[in-house]
A and B are shown apart, each in its own frame.
Chain A
Amino acid sequence: MKLVIGIVRPEQANQVLEALYRAEVRGFSISRVQGHGGELDRVETYRGTTVQMGLSEKVRFEVAVSDNFVEKTVGALCEGARTGEVGDGKIFVVPLEHAVRIRTGDSDEGAVTPVSK
């Protein structure tokens, strides 16, 4: 059981969602984060005040999956998020100790496997 964390461009988030859907990865959560990953900074000007935007908006996907789903999930994240420019993001896979589905009390593998009803 792993937690796959993908940090991607917000403008690619929809493509990632589509790719995850095609890979039949059904359960995940996303959040908006800000970060910096070596891309060129944007320069913006507000009535004479020029600023360099050091942080870029990113979307963070968190997907808890059973071990045999890790490759598919990582593949989907890469496929959806890649543009080829600096700033496409990162994927981290970390071990997951324990998971519980709150509604049923299912734990671990059962909790991260989609149910049909």
Chain B
Amino acid sequence: MIAAIDTGDTAWMLVATALVLMMTPALGLFYAGLVRAKNVLNTFMMSVAAIAVAAVTWAAVGYSLAFDGGEGKVIGGLGNAFLSGVGFEPRAGGTIPELVFFAFQATFCIITVALISGAVVERMRFGPFLVFSALWSVLVYAVLAHWAFGDGWLMAGGTLDFAGGVPVEMASGFSALAAALVVGARKDYGRQALLPHNAVYVLLGAGLLWFGWFGFNGGSGFSTGNPSVLAFVNTLLCPACTLVAWFILDLIRGRKVTAIGAATAIVVGCVLITPAGGFISPGWAMLLGFAGALPSYAVIAYRTRTRVDETLDVLAAHGTAGLVGILFIGFFAQASWNGVSDGLLYGNAAQLWHQVLAVLAGPTYAFVMTYVLLKLVGLAMPLRASDREEAMGMDVIQHGEEAYVTGEGAILLLPDDHAKVAVPVADPG
């Protein structure tokens, strides 16, 4: 195929890239609302840190490992390391400059790293999180992205994953479970009610995530063609149906429709349609939204009865919903809509097997690798703050700032005074 840039496709992909990047601060806001007031900044900063760390590791080696050759293999090469050879020419079969493709994929790596932070907020120290993020973005995300997006063994074998059910959603969800197990529960978990401090942040964050998700799914066709249009519209329909289903489940279970439940439903609905967006009809997307709410709802309800403090339910919202979405393709994919493959319902049982393979391999790799990586980081430095630090809040301890500072009693220190400052309470050496 002759390499030709399509200006329309490029314009859309530039916008889509910016939309997906916005999802990470949106996630930070969503997570920040769900934690207590003393941990808001630290929680938000974990998402900001994901941008800092993953953008760099992605440019260094992540992109290359995911997308440089390695057809049918478990990992790509290092030919594109440090953006070597990545320029204005499109990739084989593409219509947008490879630089745009690289940037779009970078935003996926970034948000996936940020998603995992939901499992460890309110007690994990910031430094180890940075180290873990760097390692995870290369050793887990880039590998799974190769499997599912970069012509790796899953993709080459026939697994369909439109926008990241394997490397983004299932990987973050099952990694979150492993991270929660290694880091351990917050000291008051299961003894005290640990409540979200600002439900408005949660709703606004979810709303911005949904907005950004139009770029996430709509951009994953890498063009303005039919798959992108289909995924874009499905990103409207599927989460709306999840919202309706969540309202009903909330009504049955607690007799009231909850705001934080609604915010959760938006995220779950967007995750459900992520792998399937460009492969199923709008009608099936709506069914996916309705039916897919139940497993995530059940996992959230079950998780809170266990000792596993997977704090912000990344496994339920992303792991479970991603898994359901990947499997759904195996049943309801329709070649007349996607031009690629049918599912079981349309006579192609093999597609279901390809999807089952993905839900077995992806989560297993993510869980095991995350578990091992965090154990290794834990050998080098303590993963979590002390009980006393946890009680004081991670904002003051890790960042020396507070989100809701009043300024009363604050004495301005002039530069000359710094030498005389008493040891800060955050670090009573």
Please list the residues of chain A having a beta carbon within 8 angstroms of any beta carbon in chain B.
9, 11-12, 14, 34, 36, 39-46, 49-55, 83, 85
Contact = CB atoms under 8 A, between A and B. Distances in A.
Given A12-B391, A45-B401, A53-B410, 19 more contacts: A9-B391, A14-B192, A34-B408, A41-B411, A42-B425, A43-B413, A44-B396, A44-B402, A46-B401, A50-B418, A51-B410, A51-B412, A51-B413, A52-B422, A53-B411, A54-B409, A54-B411, A55-B408, A83-B388
B428 interface: yes
Contacts of B38: 11
25 contacts: A11-B391, A11-B392, A12-B391, A14-B188, A14-B192, A36-B409, A40-B422, A40-B425, A41-B411, A41-B425, A42-B396, A42-B425, A42-B426, A43-B413, A43-B424, A46-B405, A49-B412, A50-B412, A52-B410, A52-B411, A52-B413, A52-B421, A53-B411, A54-B411, A85-B388
A38 B409 CA distance: 14
Contacts of A41: 411, 422, 424-425
B423 interface: yes
Nearest to A43: B424
A42 B418 CA distance: 13
A79 B425 CA distance: 23
B35 to A, nearest CB: 15
Interface of B: 38, 188, 192, 388, 391-393, 396, 400-402, 405-406, 408-413, 418, 421-426, 428
A45 to B, nearest CB: 6
B172 to A, nearest CB: 30
Given A14-B188, A41-B422, A42-B396, A55 B401 contact: no
Contact of B424 (A9, A42, A49): A42
A34 B406 CA distance: 10
A39 B409 contact: no
Nearest to A42: B425
- Indicate the member of A36, A40, A42, A49 with the most B CB atoms within 10 Å: A42
Contacts of A44: 396, 400-402, 405, 410
A54 B423 contact: no
B391 to A, nearest CB: 4
Contacts of B405: 44, 46
A53 B396 CA distance: 11
Contacts of B424: 40-43
Contacts of A85: 388
Nearest to B391: A11
Contacts of B388: 83, 85
A83 B428 CA distance: 15
A30 to B, nearest CB: 15
Nearest to B388: A83
A53 B409 contact: yes
A85 B387 CA distance: 13
A34 B409 contact: yes
B390 to A, nearest CB: 9
Nearest to A83: B388
Contacts of A39: 425
Nearest to B418: A50
A36 B402 CA distance: 18
Given A14-B192, A42-B425, A43-B421, A50 B409 contact: no
B398 to A, nearest CB: 12
Contacts of A40: 422-425, 428
A59 to B, nearest CB: 13
A14 B65 CA distance: 49
Contacts of B392: 11
Contacts of B413: 43, 50-52
A88 to B, nearest CB: 12
A9 B38 CA distance: 13
A93 B272 CA distance: 59
